[in-house]
Amino acid sequence: MIYLDHAAATPVDEKALEAMKPYFSEHFFNPSAAYLPAKKVSADYEAAKATIAHAIGAKASDIVITAGATEANNLAFTAVSGAPRKVPTSFRVLYLEMEHDSIRAVAKKSGGKPIKVLPNGLIDLNDLKTKITDETELISVALANNELGTVQPLAEISGIIREIKLDRLKRGIKKQLLLHSDASQALNLLDINVARLGVDLLTLNSAKIYGPKGVGALYVSHDAKLQPLTVGGGQENGLRSGTENVPGVIGFAKAVEIANEHLNGNRKKYASFRKMFLSELKDFELINKKHVLDNFIVLCFDGIDAERLVFLLEDKGVYVATGAACAASKGVKSHVLKAIGLSDSQITGSLRVSLGETNDERQIHEAAKIINEVVQAERKRIGHE
Ligand code: PLP
């Protein structure tokens, strides 16, 4: 098997798995319990949270552990209180039009308006500037997109927001203006620091960085006042009640530690794999040329149905995707590829390849060869129809 869909899921790293195991059995105690072994589990849990938080330049008390990035994204949007206006004239929430569905869905519920992207996948800063009004309270822009891998200029965006906040202050407007970013895809490939990025809220996802699934975190700055999605025992500073997922968080922290150790090495390795892969492929258009994570490759094969390619490639042991796993499984056309202005036929012919730790150089050569053969056979078949 040659697995080229690491943006959808990553296998749990062996070391992360080993670190988790004792917390399923001998260290099973509830961290809130009063006896010593439970207190030890609680201390380990807090240390794991600190490891995750330090990776983004924050403290353990600044992050809320969630059951994945979807929940973290939904929690971030609780910063915007009250029901959306029935006939909005201006919008409290702005979000990038190519965000993951977990943002688009909650943003729409909160009365959100999309910000445009340019054909190169980067945010249209002019559109952002014209859409921010005195009513705007929350802006959500993913650090790296999950279909294209496009890395957004968050520090520049937060600079614009800072100026607007200053202007509001001068005019006596006290309304909050927060910047949220979904960094699900980026934690093992970019050096992330919340202060440098200037974000108030940041989503992290264990499942994309070789940690367990169903675990995530939300960084929350002191300026952001959130409402809990679940109430109960008051865990996670009252923002996420429920007994802590100790093994999950231990595994997440180990994955973060490993990601940090290999950050530069990973980037170099994937950049060289990407280059090699592209130089060996034939008859394609590269969609995500610049400003992208090194492990994302989006290819367009003109006139070919990429969904058929996915199945044909699976028969040869190569696993790829046409886009986000959730959209692909519903047969919905990619809103991301639409947002960057691709035509319907380009979208139909587009394939996402996301490289990762299961790959080596031999696999990259082999995958390029198999894709070339399958595409060529498909072109022949269409030509003969
Ligand atoms: N945000 C981004 C950018 C993602 O890629 C994903 C996963 O596909 C999510 C959020 C949702 O993550 P989860 O399904 O782990 O909640």
pTM: 0.95
Positive/negative CA dihedral, 66, 68, 71, 72 = positive
Q: Domain residues of the chain, as ranges?
A: 2-10+263-372, 14-261
Q: Which atom of ligand 1 is nearest to the CA of 8?
A: 8
Give the count of beta carbons closer than 10 Å to the beta carbon of residue 193: 14
Q: Which atom of ligand 1 is nearest to the CA of 214?
A: 15
Tell me the sheet residues that pair with 202. 181, 219
If one residue of 6, 70, 147 were mutated to test the ligand 1 pocket, choosing by the most ligand atoms within 8 A of its CB, it would be 70
Record the tokens describing residue 317, joined without a space: 């042991």
- Angle, alpha carbons 266-268-273 (nearest 5°): 90
If one residue of 104, 184, 215 were mutated to test the ligand 1 pocket, choosing by the most ligand atoms within 8 A of its CB, it would be 184
Cα–Cα nearest to 93, from 158, 162, 139: 139
If one residue of 95, 146, 181, 188 were mutated to test the ligand 1 pocket, choosing by the most ligand atoms within 8 A of its CB, it would be 146
Query: Which of the residues 17, 276, 278, 326 is marked catalytic?
Result: 326
Cα–Cα nearest to 308, from 268, 275, 351: 351
As a CATH number, domain 2-10+263-372 is 3.90.1150.10
Q: Which residue's CA is the nearest one to ligand 1's atom 15?
A: 68
Question: Tens-digit pLDDT profile for the chain (385 aa)?
Answer: 999 999 999 999 999 999 999 999 999 999 999 999 999 999 999 999 999 999 999 999 999 999 999 999 999 999 996 655 554 556 899 999 999 999 999 998 888 999 999 999 999 999 999 999 999 999 999 999 999 999 999 999 999 999 999 999 999 999 999 999 999 999 999 999 999 999 999 999 999 999 999 999 999 999 999 999 999 999 999 999 999 999 999 999 999 999 999 999 999 999 999 999 999 999 999 999 999 999 999 999 999 999 999 999 999 999 999 976 555 556 678 999 999 999 999 999 999 999 999 999 999 999 999 999 999 999 999 886 6
- Helices 246-261 and 263-280: crossing angle in degrees, nearest 10, is 70
* Concatenated DSSP letters of 125-147: HHHHHHH--TT--EEE--SB-TT
Asked whether the beta carbons of 350 and 298 are under 8 A apart, the reply is yes
Cα–Cα nearest to 142, from 163, 120, 123, 164: 123
Record the tokens describing residue 105, joined without a space: 């869905």
Record the tokens describing residue 55, joined without a space: 């990776």
Residues in contact with ligand 1 by the CB-under-6-Å rule are 68-70, 100, 102, 142, 146, 182, 184-185, 205, 207
Q: Which atom of ligand 1 is nearest to the CA of 206?
A: 15
Asked whether the beta carbons of 240 and 219 are under 8 A apart, the reply is no
For ligand 1, the distance from its centroid to the CA atom of residue 340, given in whole angstroms, is: 20
Record the tokens describing residue 361, joined without a space: 């150089």
CA dist 287 and 102 (Å) reads: 24
- As a residue count, the chain comes to 385
Q: Tell the burial category of 70 from Cβ atoms under 10 Å away from its Cβ (0-12, 13-18, 19+).
A: buried
CA dist 226 and 212 (Å) reads: 26
For ligand 1, the distance from its centroid to the CA atom of residue 100, given in whole angstroms, is: 7
Interval 285-341: pLDDT, tens: 999 999 999 999 999 999 999 999 999 999 999 999 997 655 555 667 899 999 999
As a CATH number, domain 14-261 is 3.40.640.10
To the query of whether residue 326 is one of the catalytic residues in this protein, the response is: yes
